[in-house]
Amino acid sequence: MVCRSLIKFEPVNFEGPKDFDVIFFSSIRCAQFLETSECIDLHSYSLCCAGPQTASRLKRMGYEPAFVGKNASMPDVVSKDFTKWLGKRRVFIPCSNRSLKSIEAHIPENQVHSIVVYKTLLAPKKINSGDIMVFSSPSNVHSYFSENKLQESSVLISWGSSTSFALKEYGVVPNFILKKGSVIELKELLDNHFSI
Q: Could you report the per-residue pLDDT of 136-187, keeping only the tens digit for each?
A: 999 999 999 999 999 889 999 999 889 999 999 999 999 999 887 778 888 9
Please check whether residue 65 is in contact with residue 55, taking contact to mean a CB–CB distance below 8 angstroms.
Answer: yes
What CA–CA distance (Å, rounded) separates 136 from 119?
A: 17
CA proximity to 94, closest of 171, 168, 39 = 39
- Is residue 104 within 8 Å of 80, Cβ to Cβ? no
Nearest to 66 by CA among 37, 41, 34, 91: 91
Q: Are 84 and 107 in contact (CB under 8 A)?
A: no
**What dihedral angle (degrees, nearest 10) is formed by the CA atoms of 48, 50, 56, 58?**
-40
Query: Going from the N-terminus, what domains does the chain have, and what CATH number goes with each?
Result: 7-121 (3.40.50.10090), 126-193 (3.40.50.10090)
More confident residue, 114 or 180: 114
pLDDT single digits (tens) 1-53: 678 899 999 999 999 898 999 999 999 999 999 999 999 999 999 999 999 88
